């Protein structure tokens, strides 16, 4: 315990000044807007990386274009449309729900509905066949006696 207390005090002294010495950074509002736009746009070279996170030359050029347009006072929608005109729907990291993408967004639900309907019809037909096959089979007393006799011989 004697050795543990000084180590704990030393750890506390090393860790505690960190938050107190940290300074608040005021970010430029234009850079926040650039980051917001660039994080939603896909790098055309990289696989599934945003323009903001990518280190490719094309992503850096696209980031500079975004910075220039934000500094010029263009609206976010105008900047997005600029990249959409050049790259199409692919440029958006999250696909839009317009045009042909509507079919892509709704296809799983349509498939689930069709599958549920097919399952319901199959179950209904299965029940119908089960009811038809569960009618009592006519029994023959001679056959029952023979089965009982064989069962008795097996149990001996």
Give per-residue pLDDT as tens, 101-123.
788 788 899 999 999 999 999 99
Identify the pLDDT of residue 122: 94
Whether residue 150 is predicted with pLDDT greater than 70 in this model: the reply is yes
Give per-residue pLDDT as tens, 31-74.
889 889 999 898 888 878 888 988 888 889 999 999 999 999 98
Whether residue 19 is predicted with pLDDT greater than 70 in this model: the reply is no
- What is the pTM for the complete model shown? 0.53
> Residue 41: phi, psi to the nearest 5?
-100, 140
CATH of 25-91 among 1.10.8.640, 2.40.320.10, 3.30.450.20, 2.60.290.11: 1.10.8.640
For the chain, give the mean pLDDT: 83
More confident residue, 28 or 39: 39
CA dist., res. 41 & res. 94, Å (int): 8
What are the b/e assignments for 56-94, b being 16+ CB within 10 Å? eeebeebbebbbebbeeeeeeeebbeebbeeeeeebbee
Residues 6+ apart with CB under 8 A from 45: 54, 56, 58, 59
| Residue whose token pair is 């729900």 | 97
Identify the pLDDT of residue 22: 63
CA dist., res. 59 & res. 74, Å (int): 20
| Residue whose token pair is 């006072």 | 73
More confident residue, 58 or 130: 58
CA dist., res. 73 & res. 38, Å (int): 16
């Amino acid at each position: 315990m004697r050795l543990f207390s000084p180590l704990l005090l030393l750890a506390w002294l090393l860790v505690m000044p960190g938050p107190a010495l940290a300074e608040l950074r005021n970010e430029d509002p234009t850079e926040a807007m650039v980051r917001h736009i660039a994080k939603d746009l896909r790098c055309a070279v990289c696989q599934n990386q945003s323009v903001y996170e990518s280190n490719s030359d094309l992503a850096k050029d696209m980031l500079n274009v975004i910075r220039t347009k934000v500094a010029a006072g263009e609206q976010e929608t105008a900047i997005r449309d600029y990249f959409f005109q050049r790259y199409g729907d692919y440029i958006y990291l999250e696909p839009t729900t317009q045009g042909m993408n509507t079919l892509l967004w709704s296809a799983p639900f349509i498939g689930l509905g069709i599958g549920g309907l097919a399952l319901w019809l199959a179950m209904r037909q299965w029940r119908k066949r089960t009811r038809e096959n569960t009618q009592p089979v006519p029994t023959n007393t001679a056959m029952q006696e023979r089965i009982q006799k064989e069962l008795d011989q097996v149990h001996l």
